[in-house]
Amino acid sequence: MTTTSIIIVNWNGREHLDACLRSVFAQTYKDFEVIMVDNGSTDDSVSFVEKNFPDVQIIPLKRNTGFGEGNNIGIHKALENPDIRFVAALNNDTEVHAKWLEQLVSAMGNDTQVGTVVGKILFFYERTKFDAAGDFLLPGTLKVVTRGYGQIDSGQYDREEECFSARAGAALYRREMLEDICQDGDFFDRHYFAYIEDTDLSIRARLFGWKIMYTPKAMVYHKVAATTKKMSYIFRRYQSGRNRVFTAIKDLPVGLWLPSLKGRDSVDADYRIRFKQSFWIYCKIMVSLALSLPRLLRQRRDIRRKTKLARQDIKNWERRFGLR
């Protein structure tokens, strides 16, 4: 019986799919299906997968709907099957260890409040270095940052533990959690298009009482931004900045908005852009915020009605999940 569905969202990623799918079909855990949502690719991604991986279910879209909406479409398809207990989201520019899925499912364990599990993500080309060992919080803030980025893996993150949030590039989600956090038919907020949609999902899950676990035994090798680097850096900065503001307004108490936004980005802090470009991004974010505010406030009201945590519980995240 198929109990797990792996969703791979693809956009012009033909050069990554062979390594990714070969590793997926080499899993020791066999009770899974693969759904590839193709976001209007103009390369030969679809024909390549049809020819070489006929067991993959392909959902071809006419345009690029973004990472979040692509995953939403795949998840809705997966959950049509009542036997599906878990859904994994996997980037197309990854290669997974043979026991990746087995270890993710094992880490779900018998605790039904565990809604998400994420593994150890290492660089594809430097496999002794971390891309991510779970997401935590910048000390003294509610700013989500990646733990371990660029560090040599010397066993410092080899303990299974709760983390604050999980990257959707290689995470496993429990069906009941997905159904619980679904809003307006979305699991990931489709308005985000790209970036921070997994943080938003994780925060909603935490607000609704779900746990998020990190397990070092589920290993993934990631090429990092292999798809998004095809987009301009200015566009990426705009998406990231705007979506951080969206997440604060939707998910957090008003007094905690600024603590979630301050601090430098962990991954792209090495980039530099001119003042003129920064000002343009800021103005565009403000325009988008003004246009989106009615929807954001409605979403906020819906989330607050379902939230199981008091304001102090949310404030305590800084202590529980602050990087040490």
Beta strand pairing status for 32-39 and 4-10?
parallel
Angle (CA) 270-271-276 rounded to 5° is: 145
Q: Would you tell me how many other CB atoms lie within 10 Å of the CB of residue 285?
A: 19
**With 0-12 CB in 10 A as exposed, 13-18 as middle and 19+ as buried, what is 292?**
middle
In a domain, 15, yes or no: yes
What's the confidence (pLDDT) of residue 224? 79
State both tokens at 18.
């062979």
Domain count, the chain: 1
What's the confidence (pLDDT) of residue 268? 38
- Residue pair 222/169 in contact (Cβ under 8 Å)? The answer is yes
- Residue pair 10/74 in contact (Cβ under 8 Å)? The answer is no
pTM over 0.75, yes/no: yes
User: What is the CATH number for 95?
Assistant: 3.90.550.10
pLDDT per residue, tens digit, the chain (324 aa), is: 789 999 999 999 999 999 999 999 999 999 999 999 999 999 999 999 999 999 999 999 999 999 999 999 999 999 999 999 999 999 999 999 999 999 999 999 889 999 999 999 999 999 999 999 999 998 878 889 999 999 999 999 999 999 999 999 999 999 999 999 999 999 999 999 989 999 999 999 999 999 999 999 999 999 976 555 666 778 888 898 899 999 999 999 887 776 666 554 433 333 445 666 778 888 899 999 999 999 999 999 999 999 999 989 998 998 999 998
- Residue pair 111/199 in contact (Cβ under 8 Å)? The answer is no
What's the confidence (pLDDT) of residue 30? 95
- Residue that the structure tokens 């403000």 belong to: 286
Q: Cα-flanking dihedrals φ and ψ of residue 43, to 5°?
A: -90, -165
Residue 202: domain span: 4-230
In a domain, 34, yes or no: yes
In a domain, 111, yes or no: yes
In a domain, 215, yes or no: yes
In a domain, 288, yes or no: no
Per the rule left: phi > 0, alpha: psi between -120 and 50, beta: everything else, 225 is: left
CA distances for 222 relative to 128, 192, 243, angstroms? 12, 22, 23
What's the confidence (pLDDT) of residue 267? 32
Q: What are the beta bridge partners of residue 219?
A: 120
In a domain, 249, yes or no: no
- Structure confidence by residue, pLDDT tens digits, 160-217: 999 999 999 999 999 999 999 999 999 999 999 989 999 999 999 999 999 999 999 9
What's the confidence (pLDDT) of residue 260? 63
In a domain, 131, yes or no: yes
In a domain, 253, yes or no: no
What's the confidence (pLDDT) of residue 271? 43
